[in-house]
Structure 1
Amino acid sequence: MEPLKEMFGKTYYKNLADVLSSVHKPFQADRFVKDVTNNLETLSLNQRMRQTSVVLQQHLPENYSQAIGILKDVVPQLNGGYTTLVFPDFVSLYGLSHFQQSMEALKYFTSFGSSEFAIRAFLKQDLERTLKVMQKWSADSNYHVRRLASEGSRPRLPWSFKLDQIIKAPQLTSPILENLKEDEELYVRKSVANHLNDISKDSPDYVLKLIKAWDITQPHTAWIVKRGIRSLLKKGDKKSMSVFGLTKDVKVSIKRFSLANAEIRLNDVLQFQFDLVSEKSTSQNLMVDYRIHYSKKSGIQSAKVFKLKEITLAPGETVSILKKQRFQDFTTRKLHSGSHKLEIVVNGEVMKQKTFMFTR
């Protein structure tokens, strides 16, 4: 499989140069390709993107307004995707002293890829002024722009630096979230939920206070809230569970809990089953999860929670649950041999556990 960094390869640069020269006749396509591919093999994906921005600036007019105008004409003629992040990256590098024009450029470019990383340079430079613009974006008719308002201002956006001012004062982004709490676009709702989840890691009480004022009978809002407080729910936070009416005083037992195999290897399936039995005279609203404590290279274990199901268990009712999960490596997680632990978790409480061995 070809490495992701090859998105920024010679074929891409040749096409980019051809489009640039068709838009801006003085553009020296051959020289650009030569300069931008210098030492290309030694560079990572994001290093290639940054080199592209730097070399573009060397080959475009010195006047920022002219350069942005050319890039705006170029981007619709290219394939969308990750490589289009070059255009907002250019803005973040060379447009900090041209605030209004850069805001317009980032708003335009975000529909072709995303300006979520580039906008953070402006938030870092002038938080208040940039947030005012992003609040307007959160009411825009274009869902890409609305999503940028939420995603770009996330306190802990992955693969970017933290926004410490927003971490300390999460209310700064509440006008944006208020505008988007019922958004009809799933792409936007996912961002709002992730934004809330970011905040919950530092200010859980603030998040719960915020969402308690929201109408969770509205389906879009309910979806955002449930996903937005997922980290709190996985930790068994009782306050967050009360938002969705989950039973506080859980009375259940786990019967016939078994593993198909006590030893598994890479790409084998971990299969387990159990009966969940109500021991209460009233119905119980339950969130049933399972937690795997993975063995790390160092020998210590790291836990990850997985969803099983949400159910209303009637008095004396028994529900049988079967689950299969393939043990395989992922880009973000490599499995290591050793002892692992499986826990059944109901409304945040560990009910039963078993150990098993994993060998690569």
Structure 2
Amino acid sequence: MGAFDEFIGRETVAELRGVLTAVRPDRPWSALGAVHGSLPGHALKARSDLVATALVDDLDGEYVTAAAVFRAALGDPGFRGWTIWPVTESAVTLALADGSVAAFDDALALLSELTHRLTAEFAIRRLLAADLDRSLEAVVSWATSADEHVRRLASEGTRPYLPWAVRVPALLPRSRDLVPVLDRLRDDESEYVRRSVANHLNDVSRHDPDLVVEVARRWSADVDAPRTRAWVVRHALRSLVKKGDPGALEVLGFRPHAVSLSKPAVSAPVVVPGAATFSFDVRNDGDEEARLVVDYVVHYRKANGSTSPKVFKLTTVTLAAGESRSFRAVHAFRPLTTRTHYAGEHSVQSQVNGVRSEATPFDVEL
């Protein structure tokens, strides 16, 4: 286990137990006191789940009791940090077990009160899954909160593909319903909130790229938009730009141009760990200057012999009419936890404004 997992460890759990004991000294908090022995060997999320289960046990399975204890604990400035994650998860578990509308609504309110102590973005997912419409009513109201953490929760908690979080499939076809929330937050005074908005839209681009381009185009057309808007749009479109989506590129000012690009020359073979050097030329064949996004695409060999493409950013340039320019990239091939290399034929393409060259094959040796 890595150091990151220790964010929920013996010391932090002991601190949480101390805070809760100060609120309710009549409770032994025995499950919380014992859970630290179960944490070693588990990753952070699993540790959160173990602590949340201990909290549910110590609170006798009663949501009303849990809500009162957690709200009282907010009076202690030490009630913050990574143990807030299992606190929010235990509250949701108890609210859903309660089954009443009152408990459900109060759990939403409680998450908005707790989120500034770490985040409630993970816990809200199960409420969204249980009753999406009711949850979204709260989300809409959070977008106008005076608290930046609550405003961020409105965007971050409803991201379609939030990392580490429970998937909520029903969110995907409702992406358009959340656009008014993102409209409200796109120019937020907090960079923390604006970044969440951009990440939310980038998530949506995975299943509804047309909607994202539509929103980005509308946001970009506003002549009175603050300077921060342009960054939000660029960050929201980053995945579509890497894929060469014509609409996304056009929103950012990269229009189709008459451009010639050579297929890459490759220094090969490549021996892992090692690197390959790719070089290629781009020429503007048009009669006006051209703004270009220049990338390259590596087609990695998979275990079954097929290949999988991945786009890598290189640069953005402006070429005058008739101008040519050469580009060079040194691409590392080394063992990664996120990628296993396989020996055999790979290939690479140059890519300009989403248009790809002919592929150049090359061999990788292990």
Post-superposition offset of 1:199? 2.2
SS in 2 for 1:291: strand
The residue that corresponds to 1:22 in the other structure is 22
CA–CA distance in structure 2, aligned partners of residues 185 and 320 of structure 1: 40
1:150-184 Cα distance to aligned partner (Å, 9 max, x none): 11112232333443333223221111111012234
Pair 1:110 & 2:115 matched: yes
The one-letter code sitting in structure 1 at the alignment partner of 2:277 is: Q
CA–CA distance in structure 1, aligned partners of residues 247 and 14 of structure 2: 56
181 and 263 in structure 1: CA distance in 2 versus 1, 3 angstrom threshold: same
The one-letter code sitting in structure 1 at the alignment partner of 2:310 is: K
Post-superposition offset of 1:79? 5.9
CA–CA distance in structure 2, aligned partners of residues 192 and 128 of structure 1: 20
1:20-68 Cα distance to aligned partner (Å, 9 max, x none): 323321232565322x246545655323211211111222366534423
341 and 78 in structure 1: CA distance in 2 versus 1, 3 angstrom threshold: farther
List aligned pairs for 1:1-360, cutoff 5 A: 2=2, 4-28=4-28, 32-34=32-34, 36-37=35-36, 39-41=38-40, 43-60=42-59, 63-72=62-71, 73=73, 76-77=77-78, 80-81=81-82, 83-96=83-96, 97=100, 98-215=103-220, 218=225, 219-254=227-262, 257-266=264-273, 268-360=274-366
246 and 2 in structure 1: CA distance in 2 versus 1, 3 angstrom threshold: closer
CA contact (8 A) 1:166 1:172 kept: no
SS in 2 for 1:344: strand
The one-letter code sitting in structure 2 at the alignment partner of 1:357 is: D
The one-letter code sitting in structure 2 at the alignment partner of 1:296 is: K
Unaligned runs of 5+ in 2: none
32 and 227 in structure 1: CA distance in 2 versus 1, 3 angstrom threshold: closer
237 and 259 in structure 1: CA distance in 2 versus 1, 3 angstrom threshold: same
SS in 2 for 1:323: strand
SS in 1 for 2:328: strand
157 and 32 in structure 1: CA distance in 2 versus 1, 3 angstrom threshold: closer
Post-superposition offset of 1:106? 0.9
- Structure 1 window deviating more from structure 2 (273-282 vs 342-351): it is 273-282
CA–CA distance in structure 1, aligned partners of residues 155 and 259 of structure 2: 40
1:87-122 Cα distance to aligned partner (Å, 9 max, x none): 221122112441332222211222222211211222
CA contact (8 A) 1:252 1:280 kept: no
117 and 70 in structure 1: CA distance in 2 versus 1, 3 angstrom threshold: same
CA–CA distance in structure 1, aligned partners of residues 331 and 16 of structure 2: 43
Unaligned runs of 5+ in 1: none
CA contact (8 A) 1:184 1:220 kept: no
CA–CA distance in structure 1, aligned partners of residues 296 and 66 of structure 2: 53
The one-letter code sitting in structure 1 at the alignment partner of 2:248 is: S
SS in 2 for 1:319: strand
How many equivalent pairs are there? 356
SS in 2 for 1:140: coil
The one-letter code sitting in structure 1 at the alignment partner of 2:284 is: S
CA contact (8 A) 1:250 1:347 kept: no
The one-letter code sitting in structure 2 at the alignment partner of 1:259 is: V
358 and 142 in structure 1: CA distance in 2 versus 1, 3 angstrom threshold: farther
The one-letter code sitting in structure 1 at the alignment partner of 2:307 is: Q
Post-superposition offset of 1:277? 2.2
303 and 76 in structure 1: CA distance in 2 versus 1, 3 angstrom threshold: farther
Identity level (%): 32
